[in-house]
Structure 1
Amino acid sequence: MQLGMQLDFQGVLLLMWGATVPLIYYGFICDPNLRWIYWGVQSSLAIAASAFTLQPNFKDPSLKMLRALTFGGFACSSLVPIIHAIARYGWEVQMKRMGLVWVFATLAFNTVGATAYAFKFPEATFPRTFDIFGCSHQILHLAVICAGLTHMVGILQAFDFLHDNGNTCPQLA
């Protein structure tokens, strides 16, 4: 059980980190230095969170809130480069470069899944009704799948925009 839980935590962190890599790439396509800085910061935070989750007592039920804060904090850190890219290059440009509509849809799916899981909805509200099908853990996994697919659409949109429009960097155009 311990190994399975640790692998689950590592997988979640890897998925979260991996989702930021293309967003940073497309968001800072015109500024390689910032791109590398954000990649370094996100990678460092992912490694720190990973090391933290591997601690033997991290799985203790009394540390549920600390686990939530670890994953939630890392998720919030991925918003920093997105907000910075919007502030630096503007909303309209980043809507196309980063596929922001899809980024926000991804965020919504992940929030729904995490909230259902954190509050054990619906099984806490309707005891014995969702013991097999429709429980919070299943809702979480469905939401993560939807988030992953939504994220993929956004990255494909960003890829298409970059390759269809060539150089969109104002200082280099």
Structure 2
Amino acid sequence: MEPSFNSVSQRRSATRRNASKGAERSKEGREKAQSQLLHWDELEEWQKDNEYIIRGYRSPLMQKLYLTMMTLAGMGAAFIVLDPEYAKPTHRGARTTVFISLGLCAVIPVTQLFLTHGFNELVSDMGVQWLLISGALYIAGALLYANRIPERLAPGRFDFFFASHQIFHFCVVLAALAHYQGVLISLRYRISQPNCGQ
């Protein structure tokens, strides 16, 4: 029994020493990294106009393009939704087209991510599959609503339950949950990156 006690005791001592060395190395690494960082006030004047430092590693042109695109698309959608003329049943198709088009605006930024990061990283790290599921649910719900399916196929049978409008809202809730899951995965990926440009 005595030899096993010694070996356990020796293993515990070795584990403590290794943990202590690991903590020291970690502390040294943090101190080294902090010594290499500069505060904005410590930069030379000629370095302060660097676009990457001022705006991050995202292209200011693309930021403006996406913000402009979404603002215009949102204003167009708001006009269609709020204009009494488009509230008529005859314009159901126009409202559906605007709804789907507004969602499809995401194709452009996702295409840029595909070109800069590649498909595998988009799926494994950024959760783009959840965004695709969300889009498919939105579109499916909108098309069912616009075409009045299933009540169109069996008039009177779906007046209270399982009408196209109810199915549409159910799809919207599922799509929002899928989108939320994708955002969580993407957020975890962003937080894990040492800086914005990677």
Report the TM-score when normalising by structure 2: 0.63
Equivalent residue number for residue 120 of structure 1: 148
Does 1 or 2 have the higher relative contact order (CA < 8 Å, sep 6+)?
1
Aligned AA for 2:85?
Answer: N
Q: Determine the structure 2 residue equivalent to 1:31.
A: 58
Give deviations 1:72-102, integer Å, cap 9, x for gaps. 2222222122112212332223335542010
Q: Once the 2 structures are TM-superposed, how far is the Cα of residue 47 of structure 1 from its aligned partner?
A: 1.6
How far does residue 168 in structure 1 lie from its aligned partner after superposition?
A: 6.4
How many Å separate the matches in 1 of 2:106 and 2:154?
35
Larger radius of gyration: 2
1:129 aligns with 2:165: no
Determine the structure 1 residue equivalent to 2:121: 93
Give the root-mean-square deviation of aligned CA atoms: 2.2
Does the 8 Å CA contact 2:93/2:146 hold for their aligned counterparts? Answer: no
Equivalent residues in 2 for 1:45-64, closer than 5 Å: 45-64=73-92
Residue identity over aligned pairs, in percent, reads: 25
**Paired position in structure 1 for 2:102:** 74
In structure 1, distance between residues paired with 2:82 and 2:196: 42
CA offsets per residue over residues 13-72 of structure 1, 9 Å max, x none?
xxxxxxxxxxxxxxxx84142234312321222123213432231212222232222222
Query: Residue 47 and residue 77 in structure 1: after superposition, are their counterparts in 2 closer, same or farther (change >3 A)?
Result: same
C-alpha separation in 1, matches of 2:174 and 2:104: 19
| Alpha-carbon distance change, 153 to 127 in structure 1, aligned in 2, over 3 angstroms | same
Count of residues in Structure 1 that have an aligned counterpart in Structure 2: 142
Is the CA contact (8 Å cut-off) linking 2:125 and 2:186 kept in structure 1?
yes
Q: Which runs of 5+ in 2 are unaligned?
A: 1-55
Query: Hey, what's the Cα distance between the residues in 1 that align with 2:64 and 2:122?
Result: 18
> Contact 1:123/1:129 (CA < 8 Å) preserved in 2?
yes
Name 1:44's counterpart in structure 2.
72
CA distance in 2, matches of 1:120, 1:56: 21
Distance in 2 of aligned mates of 1:142 and 1:154: 19
Task: List 4+ stretches of structure 1 deviating above 3 A.
Answer: none
